[in-house]
Amino acid sequence: MQNRLTRPEVPVDMTWNLNDLFTSQAHWEAECAAVDAARAQVSPYQGRLADNAQTLLQCLDSVEALQQRLMRVATYAHLRNAQDGTNPVYQAGMARVATLGAQLNASIAFVDSEILQLPDDLLEQYLAAEPGLAPYRHYLQDLLDLRPHRLSPDAERVLASLGESLAAPYMVYSRSKANDIQFAPFTDARGTVHPNSVNLFESNYEGHSDTSIRRGAWASFSAGLKSYNHTYAATFATEVNKNVVLARLRNYRSTEDFLLQSHKIPHAVYRNILDIIQAELAPHMQRYARLRRRVLGLEKLLYCDIKAPLDPAFNPRMPYDEACTLILDALAVMGPQYCGFARRALTERWVDRADNVGKSSGAFCASPYGVHPYILITWSDTMRNVFTLAHELGHGGHFGLAMQHQRFFNTRPAMPFIEAPSIMNEMLLAQHILGQSQDARMRRSVIMQVLGTYHHNFVTHLLEAELQRRAYAMAEAGKSITASVLNQSKGDILAAFWGDTVEIDDGARMTWMRQPHYYMGLYPYTYSVGLVASTAMAGLVRDEGAPAVQRWLQVLQAGGTRPPLELLQSAGIDMLSPQPIHDAVAYVGQLVDELEQGFPG
């Protein structure tokens, strides 16, 4: 059995270069101390925001500068902890920035409160009199939209100072997943012993062609999750109940309304995403499951079999360098500026791709303002890795463009738009590969990768969103959220979606334990919004070419200056209509149709 590398053993070229953020621990510590001291620069403005427009502008400029600096020190701490969550120095760094963030938020809490006390007409007069306030118009309007739900200045200051405690559920979950949870080695049918971990399971074993390895890893993985079932349920319940209390405290009709406020999206769109996709996609995915069981020759399809390759003999390795070339070729349609940015990300150590003890699972892209994006992935030479890397580059390209064209306050759009640029890159990658080859096996392979993208966003994340919807309804009704309740609810959701095509075992019922998204508001459903939008956008790029690309690039450059549905409308996509949802689900059906033809019974 091969032991996993520790972080110091990882080759440097497989890691990201954090020196672009801070050159040393001492440099970072000095900036933390400087940010802490700089909090005092905002205090002189307290009680004076009604004086004149210039005072308000100076205050907002000071706040923006502070938050930008906080973002940089927080990103550095987050990235180091993500690369090795077992390192106590990195753990301490996370705790330090959490405290610093809470202190800074408490120091500036008066700003929002005082602005909300200004008469509406006075704020408009300020905006008209002082051009420097123009970049803050969107922030100010968002703030005014929250006016009915704001508490007294003292109460807001107390809540701000509790920021570290309110974020504790996510911290506890992340710390436990990175450090405490262990998975026993397992033995395959040939007697070979394999180590297991979250990263190994999700990167190597979950899609393995050998049933004994796949199911052995699943048994080990499920047993490891079970040992934390009650702990993670308590953490989940704490997060849910916290949001229920905050929603009631702020006088929202429901917790969903509270969590959707910042998304700037109608509740009807949220419901359409959850309801239409579950109802219309299930028959297509059940057909895919039946096809998988037949082709794999399995008596029954377990939950751990739904990502098994249908043509394992056609599984060419995808080394990182070859994957980079393929991605850059696929993104060429986006133009030289976008492609040049992607090339830098892939070649200048913006990507951390090693597997090591303590490394965070999954993949993400962090984009500290004024620096450049950083991407985390665990590379295992698979085509799935290629699509995941293209996805994260979509986030990086989006925020890279937004940072070039927008102030810090206006860089990030509301969450429902966040996943569209990333999934768009996956769609372009698929179009590129399919356009290059008519080889039947290659087409089948790519179609399965594209179906993997739709499974990830339209099934995995969407069913997470359905669990959230049920969990918040239960909490609002005064029901307790326990491990047995979550396991039962998740099992019911999976059974309703997959019907009799997939056996839902105890491991499947515990899959809610695998994702951190439950601690990020209503994040899970936004993946489906992004996939619907990117499916439509990829079609527009295919049909229109350069004009559609130009619209898309302008939307990416806009950052957070417009609500998500307005951004998509500018690109040519009407998400107020359910039609793009119907179209995206129908496209999945077409992919399954072609796959069925490629594997005749």
Over residues 343-365, the mean pLDDT reads: 94
Q: What are the b/e assignments for 164-190, b being 16+ CB within 10 Å?
A: beebbbebbbbeebbeebebeebebee
- What mean pLDDT, rounded, does the chain reach? 94
DSSP sequence for 375-411: EE----S-HHHHHHHHHHHHHHHHHHHHHHHS-GGGS
Given pLDDT bands bounded at 50, 70 and 90, which one contains residue 120? confident
Does residue 94 have a pLDDT over 70?
yes
What is the number of residues in the chain? 601
- In percent, the amount of the chain with pLDDT more than 70 equals 100
List beta partners, residue 552: none
Over residues 469-479, the mean pLDDT reads: 97
- Which residue pairs from 250-254 have beta carbons closer than 8 angstroms and sit at least 24 positions apart in sequence? 250/149, 250/150, 250/151, 251/148, 251/149, 252/149, 254/472, 254/476
The 3-state DSSP class for residue 266 equals coil
First to last CA, the chain: 39
The 3-state DSSP class for residue 187 equals strand
Q: How far is CA 326 from CA 114, 143, 323, 428, 432, in A?
A: 52, 44, 5, 11, 9
Does residue 561 have a pLDDT over 50?
yes
- Which residue pairs from 432-441 have beta carbons closer than 8 angstroms and sit at least 24 positions apart in sequence? 432/326, 432/329, 432/330, 432/333, 433/326, 433/330, 440/598, 441/311, 441/314
Over residues 501-530, the mean pLDDT reads: 95
- Bridge-based pairing of strands 193-194 and 186-187 is antiparallel
The whole-angstrom separation of Cα 553 and Cα 550 is 5
- Closest by alpha carbon to 188, among 210, 213, 205, 208? 213
The whole-angstrom separation of Cα 460 and Cα 303 is 12
pLDDT computed for residue 90 by the predictor: 96
Can you state the angle between helices 564-571 and 546-557, rounded to 10 degrees?
160
> pLDDT (tens digit, 9 = 90+) per residue, 123-143?
989 999 999 999 999 999 888
Given pLDDT bands bounded at 50, 70 and 90, which one contains residue 2? low
Over residues 328-355, the mean pLDDT reads: 96
The correct answer on CATH 1.20.140.70 for the domain covering 7-150 is yes
Does residue 383 have a pLDDT over 90?
no
The whole-angstrom separation of Cα 82 and Cα 93 is 12
Does residue 467 have a pLDDT over 90?
yes
The whole-angstrom separation of Cα 519 and Cα 235 is 9
> pLDDT (tens digit, 9 = 90+) per residue, 260-300?
999 999 999 999 999 999 999 999 999 999 999 999 999 99
CATH homologous superfamily, domain 264-346+383-601? Oligoendopeptidase f, C-terminal domain (1.10.1370.20)
- Bridge-based pairing of strands 374-376 and 351-352 is parallel
Given pLDDT bands bounded at 50, 70 and 90, which one contains residue 600? confident
Q: What is the pTM of this model?
A: 0.86
Question: Which amino acid, 389?
Answer: L
> pLDDT (tens digit, 9 = 90+) per residue, 494-511?
999 999 999 999 999 999
Helices of type H across 499-578: 506-509, 524-544, 546-557, 564-571
Helix (H) or strand (E) holding 588: helix 579-598
Q: What is the largest CA-CA distance in the chain?
A: 78
The whole-angstrom separation of Cα 431 and Cα 322 is 18
Given pLDDT bands bounded at 50, 70 and 90, which one contains residue 1? very low
Q: Count of CB atoms within 10 A of residue 346's CB?
A: 21
pLDDT computed for residue 486 by the predictor: 98
- In percent, the amount of the chain with pLDDT more than 90 equals 86
User: What residue segments make up the domains of the chain, in order of their start?
Assistant: 7-150, 264-346+383-601
